[in-house]
Chain A
Amino acid sequence: MRRFFLIAPPYAWLLLLFLAPFAIVVKISLSDYALAIPPYVPKFSWDEGIGAYLSQLDFENYIFLTEDDLYWKAYLSSFKIAAISTTLTLLVGYPIAYGMTRVPSEWRPTLMMLVILPFWTSFLIRVYAWMGILSSEGYLNQLLLWIGVIDTPLTILNTNSAVYIGIVYTYLPFMILPIYSALERLDESLIEAAEDLGCSRLTAFWLVTIPLSKTGIIAGCFLVFIPALGEFVIPSLLGGSNTLMIGKVLWEEFFSNRDWPVASAVAVILLLLLVIPIVLFQRNQQKQQEAEQ
């Protein structure tokens, strides 16, 4: 009985906040467009029974997605942008996390605080701030012009580079925290042992520190990659008109075409694509737990 009460809340959470909304989206994706409130008509009603429902089911909206190369190109381009930003976030985040474990332990809470501090400001405002920094008349260009590094302002805002900067900045803490927690548990004596056995500091880092922080790296990468894939706000504010991401395509289906059924189909496919990395992430976590036991 006690066990039931322990398990019930997470399952209730899953059912209420994930499965129920997902079922609604799936239902809309199998409906037809209509000019009404809300703008779709279900192809079936529950009164007719599940048999009638299944016999009338068609995947018209899903078939439509395969007929136009816009959609798969947008999925692919999102994957590419998410993968590049995840790599960049790792390259920036790892040294920070590593540095945090190298300082005297009384400094660490302060450094941890500094990593989390930006979350106290609204995400939207922080992205807007980047518009001010990156624009052609912005602070970055003014600084570079003043130093004399460049003669003409760089065009960064409204390009993919601005999207990468935005994603790296926004998701950096998600990368730093898991890596930090992996590195913090690392046994110093292992590195000393490696050095005693003839490793240079660099080889010891490569052969001991990196493999032992692997779980943190993997967790951080998933935590960045998964939300970056469906990102909408950053590409629409910082990206250019030619930045193609599935989040924007979804927005256009929903707002410009006002076609909720097709928009829902795009969302369902996006979710199915995300299930793969999420399952891999789960496995990694499980393995880690088993290894610890």
Chain B
Amino acid sequence: MTLKTMTLTAIVALSSAAAMAEEVRVYNWSDYIDEELLTKFEAETGIKLIYDVFDSNEVLETKMLAGGSGYDVVVPSGTFLQRQIIAGAFQPLDLSKLSNAENMWDVIEARTAQYDPDNAHSINYMWGTTGIGVNTAKVAAALGEDAPVGSLALVFDPANMEKLAECGVHFLDAPAEIIPAVLAYIGEDPDSQDPDVIAKAEPVLSAIRPYVQKFHSSEYINALANGDICVAIGWSGDILQARDRAAEADNGVDIAYNAPSEGALMWFDQMAIPVDAPNPDAAHKFLNFIMDANNMAAASNYVYYANGNKASQPMLEEDVIGDPAIYPDEVTLQNLYTTRPYPVKIQRKVTRLWTKIKSGI
């Protein structure tokens, strides 16, 4: 008995000693936070923050489904979040530890609830649209002043792409974002999960494939900013960051972002706590820190993405809150669509179609 108690006490003592040297491990998208916030969190809480980055939902999901990732906070997008919740990858949030939860914006929460019912497992970090970034001067040189920069025809019409190929076009390497855009372009339902409808995207993409220089989900930020490429299908804030970097470098490159007039995908990046997080308590502290209105405003002002935090809006700079590319006006907002996760069988077809488009086999 005494021996057992002693062992137990030793274990408890050891585990609390481990918890004393507190650490929280956060796994977020690349180029997605003002790094000053990270040091601020450490200073305020005394918790050591280990911050890693990824650039694709697929990589994150594989880590989540393998289990034992060692992360306390991860940031999947809506559809991926939904599937991972079903797989049992996340723990429900403890609202009593999230005093800043009242700062959240009901308009966004209503939309994210379709992925995470009642927002029980996640908080919104940022949201945005998938659209087209252009180097205005180069595109005007290739296609003339009246180039259709606000339309998907810019990137899906072979006649335009043939002329743009010379100055370089990048696409996101994300079939779940590009295929809905193609479907919107040809007038189909972008959220379709019917294999016959999805198959209609193939001829459109095959026709423009020779003119796409690269499929990649993060390189286009620098490539646009340096003037290496003139068009990218990418995420709104990334393209606006490219615009900002080009302006800072003062290299004569002028970048513009447009959500396509045919409709644009609206996505949500949600912070959640894995079910096997080593330090869920510190994870809640991190979420609460992020939900602080000032911190969230600082993050948005830095990365040019809209956030789901209503209280942060007065602190946002004019070139963030006032830019319809970031905070869309009512008309654009109605033109945005969301998608659901593909079922397994359809997912395989989508990946296969994507491989076929990229490699020709």
Contact indicator A39/B358 (Cβ below 8 Å): no
* Contact of A39 with B228 at beta-carbon distance under 8 Å, contacts A70-B352, A242-B359, A256-B351 already known: no
Contact indicator A37/B360 (Cβ below 8 Å): no
A131's closest neighbor in chain B, by CB? B219
- Bound-state Cα–Cα, A158 to B344, Å: 31
Residues of B within 8 A of A (CB): 56, 58-59, 61-62, 64-67, 83, 86-89, 173, 175, 212-215, 226, 228, 275, 344, 347-348, 351-352, 354-356, 358-361
Q: Which of B213, B275, B351, B354 contacts A158 (CB 8 A)?
A: B213
Contact indicator B347/A257 (Cβ below 8 Å): yes
Contact indicator A35/B361 (Cβ below 8 Å): no
- Bound-state Cα–Cα, A257 to B61, Å: 11
Interface size class of A (residues with CB under 8 A): 20 to 34
A266 → B minimal CB distance (Å): 13
- Taking CB atoms, residues of chain B closer than 8 Å to A33 are 344
- Bound-state Cα–Cα, A25 to B214, Å: 33
**Main secondary structure on chain A at its contact with chain B?**
loop
- Bound-state Cα–Cα, A74 to B358, Å: 13
Q: Could you write out 9 A-B pairs with CB less than 8 Å apart?
A: A35-B344, A37-B66, A73-B361, A242-B358, A242-B360, A244-B359, A244-B361, A256-B347, A256-B354
- Bound-state Cα–Cα, A128 to B265, Å: 33
B63's closest neighbor in chain A, by CB? A255
Residue A231 CB within 8 A of the other chain: no
Q: Which of A38, A137, A244, A255 contacts B59 (CB 8 A)?
A: A255
* Contact of A37 with B87 at beta-carbon distance under 8 Å, contacts A240-B214, A255-B59 already known: yes
A32 → B minimal CB distance (Å): 11
Q: Which of B65, B86, B348, B358 contacts A38 (CB 8 A)?
A: B65
- Bound-state Cα–Cα, A142 to B65, Å: 45
A31 → B minimal CB distance (Å): 14
- Bound-state Cα–Cα, A38 to B61, Å: 11
B107 → A minimal CB distance (Å): 30
- Bound-state Cα–Cα, A24 to B361, Å: 30
Residue A68 CB within 8 A of the other chain: yes
Q: Mark A73-96, 1 if CB is under 8 A from B, else 0.
A: 110000000000000000000000
- Bound-state Cα–Cα, A241 to B213, Å: 8
Contact indicator A241/B214 (Cβ below 8 Å): yes
- Taking CB atoms, residues of chain B closer than 8 Å to A256 are 58, 175, 347, 351, 354
Contact indicator A38/B66 (Cβ below 8 Å): yes
Contact indicator B62/A255 (Cβ below 8 Å): yes
- Taking CB atoms, residues of chain A closer than 8 Å to B348 are 257, 259
- Taking CB atoms, residues of chain B closer than 8 Å to A252 are 351, 355
- Taking CB atoms, residues of chain B closer than 8 Å to A158 are 213-214
Q: Which of B59, B64, B86, B228 contacts A136 (CB 8 A)?
A: B228
Q: Which of A241, A244, A249, A255 contacts B58 (CB 8 A)?
A: A255
* Contact residues of A between 233 and 248, Cβ < 8 Å to B: 240-244
- Taking CB atoms, residues of chain A closer than 8 Å to B352 are 68, 70
- Bound-state Cα–Cα, A258 to B86, Å: 15
Contact indicator B351/A37 (Cβ below 8 Å): no
- Bound-state Cα–Cα, A255 to B344, Å: 13
